[in-house]
Amino acid sequence: MAWSVLRAEDWPVPLSAFPADAALVGGAVRDALLNRLGPAPDLDLVVADGAITLCKTLSKRFGGSPVVLDAERDIGRLVIRGWSVDLARREGQSLADDLQRRDYSVNAMALPLAQRDQLVDPHGGLEHLQRRQLVALAERNLLDDPLRLLRGVRLASELEFELDDTTAGWIQRHRERLSSVAGERVLAELEKLCQSPQGQQGLQRCLDWGLLPPCPALAPLTPLTAEQASSRGLSDQECQEALPLARMAAVLDGPGLQQLKSSRKLQQRVQRLRHWQQRLGAQNPAELAEALEEAERLQLHRYLSSDLPALLLHWPAPAAKAWLRRWRDPEDRLFHPRAAINGDQLQQELGLKASPQLGSLLQFLMLEQAFGRLDGTAGALERARQWLERDTRRD
């Protein structure tokens, strides 16, 4: 059944190109058995030896780019036509030895390429899949790479599985070990968790178990679900973009993300969303937003831009839907602020020089345009002249 789902005939490298001892392991096996594979799943294969050399050989034969992931442990990756094929030297003397070192039973199954009718499952992974249960192989396996502690929470949320009680106890007992893991790796797991179907429950579990960097809470973690997003009028695509950001902002702030070595862009997006959530509060956010001074209302739309739907998730449904309708209109000049006229035109037409005054004028014209008080370039130039006259008189 797994091989029919895996559709090996579509792989960018034919099965015959791999050595006889090669076996498919990990997430692709698990997801094939769950019938939840995407169109180009990541493939993880183990071989007896020479994984990096094999990776380079396959690249020469079939194309793609070979990448050395870990020279000491002999792990390479072939990136080819939208696929990612990881090749690793087997840990231990046998495939069973290799599987014994893995994290969770559902990830400790293998499909030997030379024996298509065989599933190697020494730890009951298939039974746990059928019971929708996540079970760690051993406490020491989790400690071999403490990221596996957080991964357990993420996998349970992603697969919509229950965490085995013993496994949950190990994760909580050793939570402090997560601090030894590189921030980038922790962040990658958190981003996957925020995108998962039960991401809300997973994040709450992370908070309850102390798995996250300390962060000033905006409020107790409130529901952030696909159902809630749909009730506010968000489309599936909008939900896929807004929910992960809102969930991330609910548990981490800028300093927390900086600690995890996130991009500056993500830090900025989270900080801005948190700022406006705090500014508008939870009681009457729509009314407060409508009552903002024009300059601050413009700032809201400039700063949130494409992330506005994430702000609307906790708004009353009628107000959220009304704002979404305007946000979806790319011609709405308030919800999509842009320069009424560029600085070069102002300098050329009005004889201005680059200066703080020019910046203030551009900001003024954007505000006028956002609230419908400008009519084309000619109108913008006329308003600019009026503003300059007033500014000169003030001086």
Q: Give tens-digit pLDDT for 313-329.
A: 989 999 999 999 999 99
Calculate the alpha carbon distances from 194 to 8, 178, 249, 251 in Å: 31, 18, 10, 10
User: In this predicted structure, what is the pLDDT of residue 283?
Assistant: 82
| pLDDT, tens digit, 9 for 90 and up, residues 231-259 | 999 999 999 999 999 999 999 998 999 99
Using an 8 Å Cβ cutoff, are 285 and 300 in contact? no
Lowest mean pLDDT of 72-86, 183-197, 236-250, 350-364, name the range. Answer: 350-364
Buried b / exposed e over 71-99, threshold 16 CB at 10 Å, is eeebbbbbebeebbbbbbbbeeeebeebb
- The pLDDT value given to residue 218: 62
Provide the 3-class DSSP secondary structure of residue 46. strand
Report pLDDT for 69.
95
At 382 the pLDDT is 85
pLDDT tens, 49-95? 999 999 999 999 999 999 999 999 999 999 999 999 999 999 999 99
Q: What is the pLDDT of residues 94-140, one digit of tens each?
A: 999 999 999 999 999 999 999 988 999 999 999 999 999 999 999 99
pTM: 0.88
Q: What is the reported pLDDT for 217?
A: 65
Query: Is residue 395 scored above 60 in pLDDT?
Result: no
pLDDT of residue 52: 97
